[in-house]
Each structure stands twice: as C-alpha cells, then as structure tokens.
Amino acid sequence: MLGWNVAIPEVDIGDDIFVVQDDNGTLRRVQVKTSTSTARKESFSGQFSVSVKNLRNISNILVHYIFLVRYNDEWSKPVIIRQDYLLDHFENNKVGSEAKGNITFYFSYADGKVECSGQDFTKYIKDFTDFPKIEH
C-alpha cells in the first residue's frame, strides 16, 4: 500500500479513479484498463482499447493509464504509463492501431517483459514513480 487515498468519480467522463495525496491535495487521475489473456507458447498477450479523444485530451493533470491482464486466475503486474508518454508512443513510435476513434494496444508478456508494437514497455511495469509512498 502506498498510502494514497482514492475516490471514484460520480460522473463517468473517462477517469476511473482520482488518487489524492491528503496532506497537500496532489491529485492523480487514473484510468484502469483490463483485458482477458490469450495464451501462447511460454507467453501471453492482452488487448486494450483507449479512446483517441481521451488520449489527446492533455490537461494540466495528466491521466495515468494502468493496464492489467487476467492470466491463469491472476492479474499481471500493472503496466503504468502516463498519458503524454502513451500519446508519444502512439504518435511517434507507431504503437497501437487506430480505428473508429479508438486505439487498440496489444501487449505481449514473456519472461517478465512486456512489449507493445515492437516497443519494450518493461520499464513501465509497476512504475510507481508518480505515486511515491506516503507515510501517515
């Protein structure tokens, strides 16, 4: 547990969770994406859909996307990517495929590594850089 408080927005406009640092009001916006898995030889994959409009909606509080895959009755380790980094991958590294207003991202998991469209996303596994532990 990292000690952050969480709140679920009453009205759904794209954010799943607001994460708040109580003592100073620091706010993080979080969008959780889950997927079933497709098993492969010694690996598995998951598929996620992200709204292009939401991804491009850069505001002063960036969204953190958290990607989770259900595999063998367990959740994979979270892949945590801040909005501007995911948008950068999409626009400049050809990560994901766009259709009908959504981007589909295919994540491949093998040997503790994650790849998406040929890009190594391993560095984003459990990347809690923007959620440092808070001591209460």
Partner 1 sequence: MDTIRINVNKQMDGYSFSITPSIRDFIKKLFPNAHPANNIFVGYDTKSDFEIYVGKLESHIYPALLGVDNESDLNQFGEIQFIDTQTGNILHKLTPRDEKV
**In this structure, what DSSP letter does residue 122 have?**
G
Which parts of 83-102 interact with partner 1 (CB under 8 A)?
84-85, 87-88, 91-92
Question: Contact region for partner 1 (CB under 8 A) — 19-27, 51-59, 97-105, 106-114?
Answer: 51-59
Q: How far is the CB of 37 from partner 1 (least distance, A)?
A: 29
Rounded Cα distance between 76 and 98, Å, is 25
Determine if 57 is a binding residue for partner 1 (CB under 8 A). Answer: yes
**Strand 113-116 with 26-40, pairing:** unpaired
Check residue 12 for interaction with partner 1 (CB under 8 A).
Answer: no
- Residue 64 in contact with residue 30, Cβ under 8 Å? yes
Nearest approach, Cβ of residue 62 and partner 1 (Å): 7
Question: What are phi and psi for residue 87, nearest 5 degrees?
Answer: -65, -40
- The reply on whether position 131 binds partner 1 by CB under 8 A is no
Distance CA 116, CA 121 (A): 7
Binding residues for partner 1, rule: CB under 8 A, are: 53, 56-60, 62, 84-85, 87-88, 91-92
